[in-house]
């Protein structure tokens, strides 16, 4: 498992596609990401069509569904709107599994103290966000990413925008990961 670059974000409202490092930089370790339930593998994106390691992950985790998504202004209908939706903080009822085949982008996830952690995904990075984790996504300044999307069974991409403290997936996430690290369920 090669190191994945992740860092705490600054609070500036500049272009989201910029890196948003703090000054000085504050990197986040893979162990910290694992505590939040975020998993990562580094694979060879050039052989994704016949990759035993990828097949093994898919088989052991039951990811029978797969499709490919090319994200750039020229290839996607309603590109601006889609990107806006991706960057709106949300959860899903299921894991979000993405394998970057080309290009790069940012997945942001919340830590236990509700700080944004920015995870920089590049070609070869397969990332799993657990069901119920608050997250969002944006491209970086290269403006291009090609992603494989994996899922167990018929895919459901529904995003539930924050707040979702009563959502069963959120509750389950807090029990599975949040409670161990002192993440509060929010009152509202
Ligand atoms: C473009 S994949 C990442 C965006 C996202 O969070 C989602 O699709 O739910
Ligand atoms: Fe999502």
Q: Whose CA is nearest to atom 8 of ligand 1?
A: 86
User: Is the CATH number 2.60.120.10 carried by domain 29-176?
Assistant: yes
Site to substitute for ligand 1 among 87, 92, 96, most atoms within 8 A of C-beta: 96
Q: What is the pLDDT, as a whole number, of residue 132?
A: 98
> What residue ranges do the domains of the chain occupy?
29-176
Work out the number of other CB atoms within 10 angstroms of the CB of residue 130.
21
Q: What is the pLDDT, as a whole number, of residue 82?
A: 94
Ligand 1 centroid from CA 95, angstroms: 11
d(CA 131, CA 115): 18
Q: What is the pLDDT, as a whole number, of residue 188?
A: 53
Distance of CA 85 to the CA centre of its chain: 14
Ligand 2 centroid from CA 129, angstroms: 8
Q: Give pLDDT tens digits along the chain (188 positions).
A: 468 999 999 999 999 999 999 999 999 999 999 999 999 999 999 999 999 999 999 999 999 999 999 998 888 999 999 999 999 999 999 999 999 999 999 999 999 999 999 999 999 999 999 999 999 999 999 999 999 999 999 999 999 999 999 999 999 999 999 999 999 877 65
Q: What is the pLDDT, as a whole number, of residue 124?
A: 98
Q: Whose CA is nearest to atom 7 of ligand 1?
A: 86
Q: What is the pLDDT, as a whole number, of residue 73?
A: 85
- Please report the atom of ligand 1 found closest to the CA of residue 135: 6
What's the predicted TM-score (pTM) here?
Answer: 0.96
- Please report the atom of ligand 1 found closest to the CA of residue 71: 1
Residues with C-beta less than 6 Å from any ligand 1 atom:
71, 86, 96, 98, 135, 137, 147, 157, 159
């Amino acid at each position: 498992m090669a190191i994945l670059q992740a860092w705490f974000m600054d609070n500036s409202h500049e272009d989201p596609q910029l890196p948003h490092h703090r000054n000085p930089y504050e990197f986040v370790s893979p162990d910290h990401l694992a505590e939040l339930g975020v998993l990562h593998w580094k694979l060879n994106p050039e052989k994704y069509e016949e990759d035993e390691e990828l097949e093994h992950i898919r088989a052991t985790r039951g990811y029978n569904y797969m499709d490919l998504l090319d994200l750039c202004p020229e290839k996607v209908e309603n590109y601006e709107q889609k990107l806006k939706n991706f960057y709106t903080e949300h959860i899903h009822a299921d894991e979000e599994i993405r394998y970057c085949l080309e290009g790069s982008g940012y997945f942001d996830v919340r830590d236990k103290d509700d700080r944004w952690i920015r995870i920089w995904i590049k070609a070869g990075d397969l990332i799993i966000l657990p069901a119920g984790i608050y997250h969002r996504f944006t491209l970086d300044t290269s403006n291009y990413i090609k992603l494989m999307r994996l899922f167990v069974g018929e895919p459901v991409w529904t995003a539930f925008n924050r707040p979702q403290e009563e959502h069963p997936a959120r509750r389950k996430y807090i029990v599975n990961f949040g409670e161990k690290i002192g993440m509060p369920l929010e009152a509202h």
